[in-house]
Amino acid sequence: MKNYTGQKLAVAVSGGVDSVVLLYWLVAIGANIVCLHVNHGLRDVADIETQYVRDLCAKLNVPCHVFFWNGKSVSKGIEDAARQARYNLMTDFCHENNIDAIITAHQADDQIETFLMNLGRGSGVYGLAAMRRTGEINGIKILRPLLNVFRSELQDFCDKNNIKYFSDEMNFDPHYTRVKIRQNRHLMQEKLGISDERILLAIENLGRVRDTVEKYVESAVASVTFDDYAMFSDSFLFDLSPDIRLKFLGCVIQKIGGDRYQPRLNSLIGALDNLRTDCKFTLGHCTVRRLKEKILVVPEGAKTTFRKRNEKRRIKQK
């Protein structure tokens, strides 16, 4: 947060305990903020929450902008769709209003739950390192200053200061994996002696490993020329160390395919196995092809011929 002193920032406020405390804290430190609230239209109390956020911002003298999204039209994957819509609306607003960063209220419990969810998926270092304190979505920085603060501390603050907040009933629905973890996480301390603080320490350590890997990946990606495709030699790919190799391929596919996220670890491992011999397959809205010593990545549906691209590259080099 120190690097953003004096800058105008957006803060995402849902009306839940986490974001309400975040809003109070930012007002207390004198931050130059505008509140962004998204009404997803998914619950009966959505309009009541929206009005509460408006009233709270008026009380705290914080500008408030409300966005409406009709989530009821989504038939499946509602959580991911709502999250994507929320960030699209907020980042579009930031671009239009010259705001560089959005502050979110992700806190320690969210961080631990993310770690355990990714552990259950068999994720690598990137997934197990969980959320970054500073990230980026759609070209807008995302700041998460509460990652070491537990939800119970935020609830205590509201209770002691008689501050109202809302609870989302989806946070108590055991059909969701995150909720199952939330309801049973205490067993790790009680049965295994693994405390929340130790999990946070492990996440922090893994974050340092992730940052080191990322520097090498960035260097590898920077050495590749991107156009509407990427082409490189098999020796270049397979000379990289295994962790760098996986992340490099994920970055290239994300860059060419345009997806928000890179393919999952298991998919990338399978892709690398395929690329040890001549092959052609699709992944992450890309077509990936190996022919002899050359590997080509193009948008899905594009031609995968090597000759014209080799000629085009030679012309550029001249």
The torsion angles phi and psi of 261, rounded to 5 degrees, stand at -120, 155
Fold that domain 223-317 belongs to in CATH: 3.30.465
Q: How far is CA 159 from CA 3, 50, 148, 153, in A?
A: 31, 21, 20, 10
Q: What is the pTM of this model?
A: 0.85
* Tens digits of residue pLDDT in 166-216: 987 777 778 888 899 999 999 999 999 999 999 999 999 999 999 999 999
Report DSSP state, residue 163. Answer: -
> Is the pLDDT confidence value at 315 over 90?
no
Report DSSP state, residue 74. Answer: -
> Is the pLDDT confidence value at 312 over 60?
no
Place of tokens 């996220």: 261
**53, 15 contact by CB (below 8 A):** yes
3-state SS, residue 37 = strand
Which pLDDT belongs to residue 310?
63
DSSP H helices in the chain: 17-28, 46-60, 78-96, 108-120, 125-128, 151-160, 177-184, 186-192, 196-222, 234-239, 242-257, 265-274, 307-317
**Which tops the pLDDT comparison, 103 or 75?**
103
> Is the pLDDT confidence value at 316 over 50?
no
Which pLDDT belongs to residue 99?
96
Domain boundaries, the chain: 2-107+136-173, 223-317
Sign of CA dihedral 312, 313, 314, 318: positive
- Least confident segment among 34-38, 57-61, 164-168, 244-248: 164-168
**36, 90 contact by CB (below 8 A):** yes
Which pLDDT belongs to residue 270?
96
Which pLDDT belongs to residue 73?
66
Q: Going edge to edge, which strands form the sheet with 230-233?
A: 230-233, 294-299, 286-291, 279-283
3.40.50.300, 3.30.230.10, 3.40.50.620, 3.40.50.1000: which CATH number matches 2-107+136-173?
3.40.50.620
Instruction: Answer yes or no: same fold for 2-107+136-173 and 223-317.
Output: no
Average of pLDDT values for 28-52?
92
Which pLDDT belongs to residue 70?
79
**12, 23 contact by CB (below 8 A):** no
Which pLDDT belongs to residue 65?
97
Most confident option among 252-261, 277-286, 302-311: 277-286
3-state SS, residue 70 = coil
d(CA 22, CA 19): 5
> Is the pLDDT confidence value at 5 over 80?
no
